[in-house]
Amino acid sequence: MVEPKELRTKSALVAMISVMFVIGAVWFTNRSVDPPKATWEDVEREAKQGGYRLINTDELHRLYRDEKESLLVVDTRQEWEFRAGHVKGAVNFPMETTAWARWWEKGALKNFLGENRSRKIVFY
């Protein structure tokens, strides 16, 4: 049985829309999204809002040399980056750059850091 021309046209249109939708969905979910570049002012503002203190490399060196027993150094890069090289004695806790990811991992980070509130923690 031969379909009427109008039904074939509608079927072709629905098929084309479906294909375009799939192509769009694949493109949207696989495109690269670069996070905005953070400025030093952004870093300072976020540290202040979070109640963190920023230190320079000289201060880190002094802490690492003089207070190593009470210092926890946390490498926040991805696991493969940590395996490629890290500060001696550092532990790895990968953190994503987005606020949503950091919020999502908040409980895991609390468990990772433990209950010892007297030690200094340095994230890099």
Q: What is the pLDDT of residues 19-59, one digit of tens each?
A: 999 998 888 877 776 777 888 999 899 889 988 889 999 99
**CA distances in angstroms from 79 to 5, 76, 112, listed in the order given:** 59, 9, 15
**pLDDT for 2 beyond 60:** no
pLDDT band at 3 (very low <50, low <70, confident <90, very high): low
Q: What is the pLDDT of residues 65-99, one digit of tens each?
A: 998 888 999 999 999 999 999 999 999 998 876 77
| 124's tokens | 């890099």
Residues 6+ apart with CB under 8 A from 91: 72, 73, 74, 75
Q: What does pTM read for this prediction? A: 0.58
Residue 108 has a pLDDT of 85
Contact 55, 71 (CB under 8 A): no
Residue 80 has a pLDDT of 94
